[in-house]
Amino acid sequence: MTLRWARRCKSYVDACQCESPTKQGAPSEQALFGIVQGGMYANLRRESAERTVELDFPGYAIGGLSVGESRDKTRDMIAATLEILPKDKPRYVMGVGYPEEIVQYACMGVDMMDCVLPTRAARHGLLFTSEGRLNIKNSRFAEDQGPADPKCGCKVCSRYSRAYLRHLFVAGEPLAGVLNTMHNLAYYLDTIRAVRHAIRLGNLSGIFQEAYPLA
């Protein structure tokens, strides 16, 4: 079914772009990605990848992962699929993940990822920091005047204390979710900046073994 959809989407977009590059629904600046499925079966993942690549998309996504399976399973499925997907096209893993997973998958050759985690976790009081994950509602932060993350330069860390963030959360202030989200997004962006920097230096896996150990 995924392949039938892929074929239908591709012929629709191709036809639109021939007729008029700005026809509604398929502006020419958008790229249609083929999406690889196959559940938790490496052979089905490979078959899906091979048949999707035959359709020749500008990029490829790996879908249906991080849905409750173990991290080892996620990694194995990504690895099996990446073997087939062309290296010169963007390769996108949908719906992941924790910062250390993002680094790991980037090391494996994944170019793009997306996830609700930094914002959803923020709304539940979970902060990603250079010192690990902090549950800001914990009473040990009640008198803590330090920033959420001493190594973070975001507007929240440069202005507010852990004690204040905890107070907002415990008091049920919506601002708690806003500030926690701002910090978590800054942390994720810092992570991706560090990945890009390491790629430029040509030492992606070496640099990250210390900074982003796998949980």
Question: Which residues of the shown chain bind Zn ion in the complex (CB under 5 A)?
Answer: 152, 154, 157, 183, 186
Pairwise CA distance, residues 119 & 98, whole Å: 12
195, 104 Cβ separation under 8 angstroms: no
Q: How far is the CB of 118 from Zn ion (least distance, A)?
A: 11
Closer CB to Zn ion, residue 49 or residue 194? Answer: 194
Closer CB to Zn ion, residue 115 or residue 157? Answer: 157
Q: How far is the CB of 148 from Zn ion (least distance, A)?
A: 5
Closer CB to Zn ion, residue 142 or residue 189? Answer: 189
Instruction: For residue 137, count CB atoms less than 10 angstroms from its CB and return exposed for 0-12, middle for 13-18, buried for 19 or more.
Output: middle
Burial 154-182 (b: 16+ CB within 10 A, else e): bebbeebbbebbbbbbeeeeeebbebbbb
Q: How far is the CB of 157 from Zn ion (least distance, A)?
A: 3
Closer CB to Zn ion, residue 157 or residue 204? Answer: 157
Pairwise CA distance, residues 85 & 101, whole Å: 20
Q: How far is the CB of 4 from Zn ion (least distance, A)?
A: 45
